[in-house]
Amino acid sequence: MDTLQNKVAFITGGTKGIGYGIAQSLIKQGIHVAITGRNLAAAQEAAKSLNQDSKNSAKAIGLEADVRDLESQEQAVKQVIKQFGKLDIVIANAGLGHFGSIEDLTKDQWNETIDTNLTGVFNSIKASISALKETKGYYITISSLAGTNFFAGGSAYNASKFGVTGFTQAVMLDLRQYGIKVSTIMPGSVSTFFNGNEPDESDAWKIQIEDIGELVVDLLKMNPRTLPSKIEVRPTMPSSK
């Protein structure tokens, strides 16, 4: 994308964590941002904070949407286009984690993980293909190093993120004929509220949410002829624990 000014981005799970960090970075570039969450008040409050911090004409809106529901994603995309007139960038970020041995993992935990982390990405992309064909836009999914490295207690999360990684790569091949770029970012440890974590100074060694935001901006600024389709990113130094 040669210029980012007045582009329009749709970010799922954008009320906090990685999604919010990406929204902050895009707003700084003059990109209008729509963030979604399951709770409308939280989405609107996050959008309000983004607008208060904005130093340019870019605006943020908060929408209630559930990535597990294709119709909900379709309605959210329609709202974005109604508000801003187009859609250029989709960040499929919403996710959660349930961890534990397969002996203890429940059916509901499995379903919620797969429905949110994997089917949610399918729904977000499926709902917006027509819009991104018009703008020759960019899809970025947020996978994880857990999408290529399995670990004990991670059966549901690993399955969802391995799925996101493979799904995104196949979608990239499906859609590049339309001038649509597709990438997946696979972070290691990030300082967020994920899985009940409360970020503090002990998380300083981790990737910070603004680092992922900067990476997204770098991808969007890359020459259209070049596509980093899968990006692994990890802390420079491991935890001292």
Active site residues: 157
Helix axes 107-114, 155-175, angle to 10 degrees: 20
Which 3 state secondary structure label does DSSP give 182?
strand
DSSP 208: P
Residue count (the chain): 241
Q: Are 22 and 93 in contact (CB under 8 A)?
A: yes
Q: Are 87 and 77 in contact (CB under 8 A)?
A: yes
Residue 177, number of CB atoms within 10 A of its CB: 7
- Residues with Cβ within 8 Å of 218's Cβ and at least 6 positions away in sequence, in order, are none
Tokens encoding 8: 């329009």
